[in-house]
Structure 1
Amino acid sequence: MPRKILVVGATGKQGRAIIQAFLTPGETKLEHEYHIYALTRNVSRLNWADDPRLTALTGDLDDAESIVQIFKRAQADSHNLESPAGFWGVVVILAYPGLSTNADGEERQGKMLADLALEYGVQSFIYSSGSRAGPQYEHLLTLSGKAKAAIENHCKDLGSKGLSWTIIRPGFFMENFNDLSGSILTAILKAGLSKNTTFGLVGSKDVGKAVVAIFENHKKFCHKELAIMGQVSTISEVAADYLTATGQHLSLTPTLLGWTLLKLNSGLQDLIKSLERSHRARSQGEYPSFQSELEAGCSLSHIQTYSEWLAQDGWQESNAWGWNQVSFAKLFTGRS
């Protein structure tokens, strides 16, 4: 019988990539059969809605009881001993609340889902977190970063009670550099980052493939933390790769505009500080487990470099305004 997989955040960048990796695995032959339950607040945005291997679910993560009912129904749908009871696996991608935005809701949602996974006997619980500078800088985390760390720690605490958790930390998404938003983002990073500061990069499709690989080998990656990155680069190296692959400049936005936006927006200032802190921790050995986390992530499947991703026309994918819940107006007014 198919393993039931609940994808929380099914219509976001990562969620869509995970579903695509399950339903169209390409040359990769999956050892197990899966049925995907896609949880979203807006079913109309869900791709593959007509695929018989996918069931669309509507739910509100701020309404805990509605999510409890989803877990209960999944368990009740298992009519015989040959059919696994309830969700076999759960992967959680929570919406980023926005720059300078309170993330108490994000933390509450993540902990609630981990609790339910333990209560309902989920065999593999994957939480998609974010890149960070390691445990010794945890006290400096704020807002969404602090919420993500709290969810990670909650999963680890539940591990002693039987939760089979895996934490993935994707790098900066390559899609973020597409379109107008990418041009402005590049100007901000050029204005704010030191020239030698590096950050990890990953394409969303590779995150999808990584998640499927974890479910296929869940015992191997139980209680593991994995960095999902295809390369670690400076913003100048990213821009050079883009020019080589496309013949176009990554950003036509003046760096002065990026500098101005940084001055106006405390959330962007925090982003720059976080990237600088993560770079320093990696380069100075303050995050000793990073290399093993990166190697574990790379062992899942081939993760494209930015050049490889660009060569497959990734730069033509739309990244319409709304990067991490940020609008152009909010950047200028400092409201996000």
Structure 2
Amino acid sequence: MLTVAVTGATGAQGGATARALLKAGHRVRALTRQPTSPAAEALRDLGAEVRQADFDDRASLDNALAGSDSLFAVTTPFGTDLATEVRQGKALVDAAAGAGLGHIVLTTVAHADRGTGVPHYESKHLVEQHLGASGVPWTVIAPAAFMDNYATGWTLDGLRTGTFAWPMPAHRPLTLIPAADIGAFAALVLQRSAEFASRRIDIASDERTPAQMAEVLAAAIGCAITHQQVPLVQVRQRSTDLAAMFDYFTTVGLDVDVAVLHRDYPEVGWHSFADWAAAQDWPTLLSAATTNRRH
């Protein structure tokens, strides 16, 4: 039985990893800045130990990591900035090295090591490089585009009007993965550390074009959905970072060998985009979108 410290435990990737580890019978130490939040309480109910930790407070990291066997690490620039993500990611790696952990699994993003020019990919690669030089056994798992993002933000707003608004051409393929599969794969890596040590693995569960995604969403929601390509200039007005990412998706592509992953790691239970879409509570999601737009 492992004792695994999980950062971002109240978020999508960390939460999925924590649940997968608990289901497999391991001890989970959920690290969060808000140990009394509803998401933290839900993890406690599942059997996790919740500890307060702040990436900018080394003492809190040292306390939270002490006695753990391994670490699942996730960083994000969203809600902060790229420099903060890099600083905090390096601090987390340093704390894990200081605690003498036997394995760090860092989740970043597919293609972050390929010089994409996408700002939040480049920041993650800096953390990857720091991890590689840390002296701690490591694995980097690098997910493709998140299916879960299709049930939030401007995409969800568009679905209310029968439009799948996405900044890519209709027939350009994109590899995809839901948070649940990231968590399942991370749990597999943590349990088989010797097999995955010193490896960087891009992961995805499915590959679909925006036109195909619109068809899948229409079937899941139960109404006609049409893909509409959002001009990059509109995305750039919101975020130059995201505009650079979608430009990369369109011009280079986010290729991941889905078939090989399915063949080599069937125990992950990979979910197709149709599986994911069918599992969403669309009436509630779309109703919430309507409510949010009115306030």
Partner of 2:90: 111
Change (3 A) 1:152 1:247: same
What does 1:290-329 correspond to in 2, within 5 Å? Answer: 290-291=256-257, 295=261, 299=265, 301-313=268-280, 315=282, 318=285
Partner of 1:40: 32
What does 1:79-98 correspond to in 2, within 5 Å? Answer: 86-97=67-78
- Is the partner of 2:21 in helix, strand or coil? helix
- The alignment of Structure 1 onto Structure 2 pairs a total of residues equal to 283
* 1: CA distance, partners of 2:85 / 2:257: 28
Paired residues of 1:125 and 1:165 also in contact (CA < 8 A): yes
Paired residues of 2:154 and 2:165 also in contact (CA < 8 A): no
* 1: CA distance, partners of 2:143 / 2:283: 21
Q: Does 1:228 align with 2:209?
A: no
Q: Which amino acid aligns with 1:56?
A: V
Query: Which structure exhibits the higher relative contact order, with contacts defined as CA atoms closer than 8 Å and separated by 6 or more residues?
Result: 1
* 2: CA distance, partners of 1:94 / 1:250: 34
* 1: CA distance, partners of 2:281 / 2:198: 32
* Residue-by-residue CA offset, 1:224-280 (whole Å, 9 max, x unaligned): 12222111222111111112333234579x767x6673252334422322322540x
What does 1:156-195 correspond to in 2, within 5 Å? Answer: 156-158=132-134, 161=135, 163-178=136-151, 181-184=154-157, 190=166, 192-195=167-170
Superposition deviation, residue 308 in structure 1: 1.8
Q: Does 1:63 align with 2:36?
A: no
* 2: CA distance, partners of 1:124 / 1:53: 22
- Is the partner of 2:194 in helix, strand or coil? coil
* 2: CA distance, partners of 1:317 / 1:202: 22
Paired residues of 1:175 and 1:314 also in contact (CA < 8 A): no
Q: Which amino acid aligns with 2:190?
A: F
Partner of 1:150: 126
Q: Does 1:121 align with 2:97?
A: no
* 2: CA distance, partners of 1:225 / 1:115: 19
Deviation above 6 Å: which 4+ runs of structure 1? 185-188
* Residue-by-residue CA offset, 1:157-182 (whole Å, 9 max, x unaligned): 23xx3x11111111222221125642
Paired residues of 2:155 and 2:165 also in contact (CA < 8 A): no
Paired residues of 1:174 and 1:306 also in contact (CA < 8 A): yes
Superposition deviation, residue 6 in structure 1: 0.4
Q: Which amino acid aligns with 1:35?
A: R
Change (3 A) 1:112 1:268: closer
Partner of 1:11: 10
Paired residues of 2:113 and 2:125 also in contact (CA < 8 A): no
TM-score by length of 1: 0.72
* Residue-by-residue CA offset, 1:101-144 (whole Å, 9 max, x unaligned): 73111111111222222232212211010122652x25x242x2
Unaligned ranges ≥5, structure 1: 75-85, 283-289, 322-326, 329-336
* 1: CA distance, partners of 2:118 / 2:87: 17
Q: Which amino acid aligns with 2:7?
A: V
* 2: CA distance, partners of 1:10 / 1:188: 30
* 1: CA distance, partners of 2:242 / 2:20: 32
- Is the partner of 1:36 in helix, strand or coil? strand
Superposition deviation, residue 206 in structure 1: 1.3
Change (3 A) 1:52 1:195: closer
Partner of 2:176: 201
Q: How many percent of aligned residue pairs carry the same amino acid? A: 20
